[in-house]
Structure 1
Amino acid sequence: MANQMTEMLKGTLEGIVLAILGGRAAYGYEITAGLRDRGFSDIAEGTVYALLVRIEQRGLVDVEKVPSEKGPPRKVYSLNAQGRERLAEFWQTWSFLSERIDQLRDDDERT
């Protein structure tokens, strides 16, 4: 099951991170902690940071460097208008897929 979970997360992790940022601006470690708090404990920090680089390059977030008491400034990510559009698309796609998958499961349970 772990391998299947990993594969499914690859396709949805961007939307999950955008959803976290839709709630409030955050830096990388806060996002990783938020994922872990929500039960996504197997997601490596490096995976999250690589994703943040990609969504920044795609223009889905605004980034602000904020001074840190310990070390270099932190990059704080916040969802911008393009990111909110992408998140809305993610939720539409998720709703479509989850309804169809639930329907398949219900059909399977009846047989």
Structure 2
Amino acid sequence: MKLLILKALASSTRLSVLEWLKDPVGNFPPQVDGDLVKDGVCADFIRDKLGVAAATASRHLTLLTQAGLLIPIRKKGWTFYRRNEPALRAFTNSLQDDL
């Protein structure tokens, strides 16, 4: 799992997504469906902020999700993403212990 997380974190784009999701209210506009904090940020808003094609954004979000760093929530046909804080803490603690 550590290798998967390291791969996900090896991209400045994915690091930006994690950084933005740390403060979703400050980094994204209000949403019609889904609370920015509780439900996460709509994938379309993340894609728009990244300025990339939908397929590219989807690949970045999928890698972060597979690594366990993001939690996806499906709502009304949309996917919302929020940080998985316990997983992020566990990884940073593990990394600190290993080094």
Q: TM-score, normalized by length of structure 1?
A: 0.51
Q: Deviation of residue 84 (structure 1)?
A: 6.3
Aligned to 1:107: none
1:63 and 2:72 are equivalent in the alignment: yes
Identity %: 21
* Bigger share in helix: 1
Q: RMSD in angstroms over aligned alpha carbons?
A: 2.3
- Mark the runs of 5 or more structure 2 residues left unpaired by the alignment: 1-9, 25-39, 93-99
Between structure 1 and structure 2, the one with the greater Rg is 1
> Which secondary structure state, in structure 2, belongs to the residue aligned with residue 78 of structure 1?
strand
User: 1-side partners of 2:89 and 2:44: how far apart?
Assistant: 21
> Which secondary structure state, in structure 2, belongs to the residue aligned with residue 59 of structure 1?
coil
User: 2-side partners of 1:85 and 1:14: how far apart?
Assistant: 18
Matching residue within 30, 37, 46 for 1:31: 46
Which amino acid is the alignment partner of residue 15 of structure 2? G
Structure 1 residue ranges, 4+ long, deviating more than 6 angstroms after superposition: none
- Mark the runs of 5 or more structure 1 residues left unpaired by the alignment: 1-9, 36-40, 68-72, 89-111
